[in-house]
Structure 1
Amino acid sequence: MVDLIQYAAQVKPSERQVAVQEMEFYSFIHFTINTYTDKEWGHGDEDPAIFNPVEFDADQWVDSCRDAGMKGLILTCKHHDGFCLWPSQYTEHSVKNSPWKNGQGDIVQEVADACRKGGIKFGVYLSPWDRHEQTYGDSPKYNEYFMNQLRELLTNYGDIFCVWFDGACGEGPNGKRQVYDWDAYYSLIRELQPNAVTNVCGPDIRWCGNEAGVCRESEWSVVPVSLRSNESIQEKSQQVDDGEFAKRYDSTDRDLGSREIIRHERELVWYPAEVNTSIRPGWFYHASEDDKVKSLEELLHVYYGSVGGNATFLLNLPPDQRGLIHENDRARLRELGDYIRNTFRTNLAEGATAQASQTMDGHDVNCIFDGNPDNYWCPEEGTEQVTIEVDLHAEIEFNHVVLQEHRYSQRIEKFELEYEQDGEWKPLWSGTVVGYKRICRFDNVTSRFIRLKITESRWCPTISAFEVYRG
């Protein structure tokens, strides 16, 4: 078991995975022919003539994202209906046959340009399921068609941070199902956009397991390799050396990386979670949902559970038939962004000092306050329990503590926070994993001293940041 835990502690992310984790919060934009049919899934037989967003403003979309503090935007360039938001040369079912800009427009281009101008990253969603394309179900022919469309998106619109695939695989217009060539899709992405992550049905970022914004208490980035398979994994198993059978896990399981889960695994991978939900009940715009925008409290609950729980937060914003983010959605996004900015504007731990019960040479504990993610504290290897006492040098009122591990490992399994009051240590917050970031939120307390007790960890824990805030 010791060798396994040491192995788990040494599993590392790729640079592309680190880059997206550090984005923390970004948007989905669901916009297509469905916006004009009041449907969530189109049938593929819709007339492009109904697509006409006469007030379309990509800058307004980007401004809405920036208002909320988002760092990127992923556009549904083609949903299951097969309608393309760019003038693809491989189909007539696209904006080139719509009245919008007399068929001369390109939604994808305008959104990509607006993202770059606005200083956020651009990503693409391309549905493999296509209910319009006649070759769907003739697997070799359709895979060639899909690869051609993917190549258009990956070569004509600049740098892309993410290619987002879902697993929908229904029947096409010929009544047949398609066998997707995932390996070929991934190879093309690596060739043309080597810095892009491939999400959900992809090897870089996994789905959290639901679309309701429900987050795990313990979100492990180091998980069994079986989670990264696109095959159906229900009721599958694999034999291990001791004669037992290890379960094949999927993204809906509550525990994906504890010691109990990994103890029978031969291979582990770095496969962090993305929490995706919509600001409204639906993913596409419906006028009937104008009064059903999620409340600030609901969005903050997801934010603290995802960004504050070692996952990224992908929030969907559905533009309306004008081609604009609705006023109600924009107002909520500003409210959310203001709350986040105000809460985390001033780090009260700047200038603090700390003492650790043990420290490895070259990893001074006071580096946890320097803001440099490449610096981190750790104890000697093999030390799995350790304590850090933080001195804020003044009695300060606060209600948040933010912890971060070194970004190339995830080792902390359980920890406790305490604060000193009248010469006694009192419990403040307890949690499990930390990983990229753990935001601990609690009622206001006033103290000069905070103690972090790492009670369970893998091989030896690391801390790269210890921040304190009063929201």
Structure 2
Amino acid sequence: MPSERQLKWQEMEFYAFIHFTMNTFTDQEWGTGNEDPDIFSPSHLSARQWVQACKSAGMTGLILTCKHHDGFCLWPSQYTNHTVAASPWRNGTGDLVKEVADACREGGLKFGIYLSPWDCHEVSYGDSERYNAFFKNQLRELLTQYGPIFCVWFDGACGEGPNGKRQVYDWDSYYALIRELRPEAVISVCGPDVRWCGNEAGHTRTSEWSVVPAYLQDNEKIQEQSQQVDDGEFASRINTQDADLGSREVIRQHEGKLIWYPAEVNTSIRPGWFYHASEDDHVKSLEELLAIYDGAVGGNANFLLNLPPDRRGLIHEQDVERLQQLGNFLRSTYRQSLAVGARIQASDTMDEEHVATQVLLEESDTFWCPSEGTELAWLEVELSEEKRFDRVVLMEHIRSGQRIERFTLEAKGESGDWQELYSGTIVGHKRICSFEPFTAKTIRLTIHESRWYPTLSWLGIYLSKQEMHEAADQAVTFVDKPILDSSHGK
């Protein structure tokens, strides 16, 4: 079952990655570590604009690449001179990590950090003991100087140092430091709390299990499998051989420990992770983003979408417009369930605290379940009148574990016969079931297979208020606070 930090992370569902460093100014994806800090000089940088763009899309948090593989630090670290303090930005007095953390707090987003284990600039890299001490010193700075942190995001990129030796990362000591200083933070990808979906292309498994074999915690740390060159192939690689990580058949064959290790789907709004002017016309379409959202958030995973600021230090207008369109669509579609006030009955109920009507309440800790040992069950929802809908959202009570293994949705059509709308496997935190628009008054969920007994905390019925292109063109604009100008301190 999930820890409290994993539960809080799962509830966030959708948040941003911000890749911004030397590569933005050299038009590269990977730096060498030899870049001159003088080139880091964004003219109109506004962390508030980044936060506003994220909020317009409905995001809940932001993870900043505080240091990428080139080793350039976006904060004035006292352990290296390769930082913003050596740049002309803010006349050498700037601290971008602080500006972003403050903007997130002001705007109501949670703040997270990415710190690259690979550092092409640091001379101690490859001298494993020395570099691990250096890395932990920088990690301590980030964990103690910038307020609450919801996530520490690591990848396993690994290479040779100036001494020609491959660096050996001391992951356990990194984790211990994070647990000591920021116990509320999940440690993601190369970490024990959140699992990488396995690709950077936005591809998701049909069945994304949160309960998986424990050895998967080490997958991204294996040096031979880590990313070692910037060849563009790694970002689009999809590993199909591990399409099933946690079905009953898989775990029955596994003799080792099982763990709660939920998945995160990460991809970029553009082909690259850093800004390139040549990609201004290659921003993902609304349809592409919605497909990834439905597969990730609607497939028991969280969605981490990268937004690369340009050389001005702003999210580009093309990206801002697409984020606004995405947020408009999500807000209009999921504003209110058509099932509010409906009548509902179940095949079985465990007790009075877990009756079927609990699935219509928005409180996360209320849920329906049948008697223990009842692995097959059904719920029937009768609306006040016939309504047209094209998606149903299901949520398990994952505090009790992930239980549902196979289900179907049906509705009574005009003929009075049950017609199948959707069949699926897992539900987990959330399953978005999309299908062709259908008009009906009665909807039935049948859970055919589950582990011991199923739970369900939410059943929502929705209709897309307009087609995607109408959502893209609508004039409604997200309003929270005006996007502030880019002057420092305003």
Determine if the TM-score, normalized by the shorter chain, exceeds 0.5.
Answer: yes
- Maintained 8 Å contact 1:205/1:273: yes
- Maintained 8 Å contact 2:359/2:457: yes
Offset of residue 387 of structure 1: 1.1
1:23 is the counterpart of 2:16 = no
Aligned residues: 446
Task: Identify the match of residue 59 of structure 2 among 70, 89, 99.
Answer: 70
Matched residues in 1 for 2:213 and 2:223: separation?
A: 13
Helix, strand or coil at the partner of 2:354:
coil
TM-score, normalized by length of structure 2?
A: 0.89
Name the amino acid aligned to 1:334.
Answer: Q
Name the amino acid aligned to 1:358.
Answer: D
Helix, strand or coil at the partner of 1:220:
coil
Q: Could you tell which deviates more after superposition, 393-402 or 313-322?
A: 393-402
Correspondence list, 1:100-111, <5 A? 100-111=89-100
Matched residues in 2 for 1:257 and 1:430: separation?
A: 19
Name the amino acid aligned to 1:430.
Answer: S
Name the amino acid aligned to 1:366.
Answer: T
Name the amino acid aligned to 1:460.
Answer: Y
Helix, strand or coil at the partner of 1:140:
helix
1:245 aligns to what?
A: none
Matched residues in 2 for 1:284 and 1:232: separation?
A: 25
1:181 aligns to what?
A: 170
Q: Deviations over 1:231-279 (max 9, x none)?
A: 53999xxxxxxxxxxxxxx997111001111013231100000000000
Q: Deviations over 1:202-235 (max 9, x none)?
A: 0000100000000111000000011112553999
Task: Identify the match of residue 346 of structure 1 among 303, 320, 336.
Answer: 336
1:447 aligns to what?
A: 440
Task: Identify the match of residue 186 of structure 2 among 191, 197, 208.
Answer: 197
1:240 aligns to what?
A: none
Matched residues in 2 for 1:428 and 1:355: separation?
A: 19
Helix, strand or coil at the partner of 1:303:
helix
1:238 aligns to what?
A: none
Name the amino acid aligned to 1:74.
Answer: I
Offset of residue 297 of structure 1: 0.6
- Maintained 8 Å contact 1:412/1:457: yes
Matched residues in 2 for 1:328 and 1:172: separation?
A: 39
Matched residues in 1 for 2:240 and 2:188: separation?
A: 13
Q: Could you tell which deviates more after superposition, 349-358 or 85-94?
A: 349-358
Task: Identify the match of residue 85 of structure 1 among 74, 80, 92.
Answer: 74
Task: Identify the match of residue 383 of structure 1 among 374, 388, 413.
Answer: 374
Helix, strand or coil at the partner of 2:291:
helix
2:286 aligns to what?
A: 296
Offset of residue 107 of structure 1: 0.4
Name the amino acid aligned to 1:36.
Answer: F
1:335 aligns to what?
A: 325
1:411 is the counterpart of 2:403 = yes
Correspondence list, 1:157-168, <5 A? 157-168=146-157
Matched residues in 1 for 2:259 and 2:10: separation?
A: 16
Matched residues in 2 for 1:181 and 1:406: separation?
A: 36
1:130 aligns to what?
A: 119
Helix, strand or coil at the partner of 2:359:
helix
1:324 aligns to what?
A: 314
Q: Deviations over 1:155-185 (max 9, x none)?
A: 0000000000000001223332111010000
Q: Could you tell which deviates more after superposition, 138-147 or 385-394?
A: 385-394
Matched residues in 2 for 1:174 and 1:320: separation?
A: 35
1:94 is the counterpart of 2:83 = yes
Helix, strand or coil at the partner of 1:198:
strand
Q: Deviations over 1:288-331 (max 9, x none)?
A: 00100000011011000000000000000000000000000000
Matched residues in 1 for 2:165 and 2:89: separation?
A: 33
Matched residues in 1 for 2:157 and 2:180: separation?
A: 25
Q: CA RMSD in A?
A: 1.4
Correspondence list, 1:135-150, <5 A? 135-150=124-139
Q: Deviations over 1:382-401 (max 9, x none)?
A: 11111111111211111111
Matched residues in 2 for 1:22 and 1:119: separation?
A: 15
Matched residues in 1 for 2:90 and 2:170: separation?
A: 35
Matched residues in 2 for 1:127 and 1:234: separation?
A: 17
1:466 aligns to what?
A: 459
Matched residues in 2 for 1:333 and 1:173: separation?
A: 42
1:42 is the counterpart of 2:52 = no
1:456 is the counterpart of 2:449 = yes
1:435 aligns to what?
A: 428
2:222 aligns to what?
A: 232
Same amino acid, percent of matched pairs:
66
- Maintained 8 Å contact 1:227/1:251: no
Helix, strand or coil at the partner of 1:61:
helix
1:55 aligns to what?
A: 44
1:247 aligns to what?
A: none
1:394 aligns to what?
A: 385
Matched residues in 1 for 2:463 and 2:96: separation?
A: 42
Name the amino acid aligned to 2:375.
Answer: E
TM-score, normalized by length of structure 1?
A: 0.93
Matched residues in 2 for 1:410 and 1:379: separation?
A: 15
Offset of residue 353 of structure 1: 2.1
Offset of residue 61 of structure 1: 0.2
Matched residues in 1 for 2:289 and 2:162: separation?
A: 38
Matched residues in 2 for 1:431 and 1:26: separation?
A: 26
Structure 1: gaps spanning 5 or more residues: 1-11, 236-249
1:242 aligns to what?
A: none
Offset of residue 371 of structure 1: 1.0
Helix, strand or coil at the partner of 1:154:
helix
- Maintained 8 Å contact 1:132/1:172: no
Matched residues in 1 for 2:444 and 2:337: separation?
A: 17
- Maintained 8 Å contact 1:274/1:314: yes
Task: Identify the match of residue 252 of structure 2 among 243, 246, 263.
Answer: 263
Helix, strand or coil at the partner of 1:229:
helix
Matched residues in 2 for 1:85 and 1:386: separation?
A: 53
Structure 2: gaps spanning 5 or more residues: 226-238, 465-490
Matched residues in 2 for 1:55 and 1:170: separation?
A: 34
